[in-house]
Amino acid sequence: MTSGNARAGAGGGAVYGLGLIGGAVYYFWAADTFWEFVLAIPKAIVWPAIVVFELLKSFYGS
């Protein structure tokens, strides 16, 4: 028997997965050179962290 919290955590993974796919599509479309295509996947993985960092930086100033 699983607890309610174990099932609820799967929603975050689905949202992150959709964000990963969307980020990858965006970065592939924006790429013009070979290295931009190579870096599209790592950028797609870390873009949520960059967004949160920039939001916190704008909120707290700096």
Using CA atoms, how far apart are residues 52 and 35, in angstroms rounded to an integer? Answer: 25
Using CA atoms, how far apart are residues 46 and 7, in angstroms rounded to an integer? Answer: 25
- Burial (Cβ within 10 Å: 0-12, 13-18, ≥19) of residue 1: exposed
pTM: 0.64
Whether the predicted pLDDT of 1 surpasses 70:
no
Q: pLDDT by residue (tens digit) across 10-53?
A: 667 788 888 889 999 999 999 999 999 999 999 999 988 888 88
Cα end-to-end distance, the chain, whole Å: 48
